[in-house]
Amino acid sequence: MRSVDLTPLTRATVGFDRMMNLLDAQTRLDNGDGYPPYNIEKTGDDDYRITMAVAGFGEDDLDVTVKENSLTISGKKADAGKNEVKYLYRGIATRGFERRFELADHIKVTGARLENGILSLDLVREVPEAMKPRSIEISGARATRPKVIEGTAA
């Protein structure tokens, strides 16, 4: 894997150091084996879905955890014990895995379902009202200044 120098991007940005750290961490975390395969879909203006092919795994074999801005999906197949099937050919991988996704601020996982070997996670961006854009009134030099009453601050 080729190393990417993000220095030119950081020269003209302020407050994006978290994003740069995420990009750097992602390049180190991605082991490149592509297992299990997944899609990330944008299903609406603020809605997303992650779908992951987890054939051979049941609900009890999967774990979905969100901690701060990190989503971790892991799978570990329970041992079948002594009644293990003898395969002539085994094309469905059931090896354990752990896949991490860094979530942007205000992204919440709203649901997860497993159907026909596909794990689907629904996500939504819920920006708090205080963070939404608001109009700021501009006052000119002629605007009246608030009166100061003795003993109080302006």
Q: Which residue has the higher pLDDT, 99 or 153?
A: 99
CATH of domain 34-127: 2.60.40.790
The segment(s) of the chain belonging to CATH 2.60.40.790 are 34-127
pLDDT band at 18 (very low <50, low <70, confident <90, very high): low
From residue 82, give the alpha-carbon distance in Å to each of 58, 79, 85, 95, 106. 20, 9, 9, 18, 47
pLDDT band at 93 (very low <50, low <70, confident <90, very high): confident
The reported pLDDT for the residue numbered 148 is 60
List pLDDT tens digits, range 103-127: 988 899 999 999 999 999 999 998 8
d(CA 50, CA 41): 6
Please compute Rg for the chain using Cα positions: 25
- Please say if the pLDDT value at position 81 is more than 60: no
Q: Which residue has the higher pLDDT, 140 or 51?
A: 51
pTM above 0.85, yes or no: no
Residue type present at position 13? T
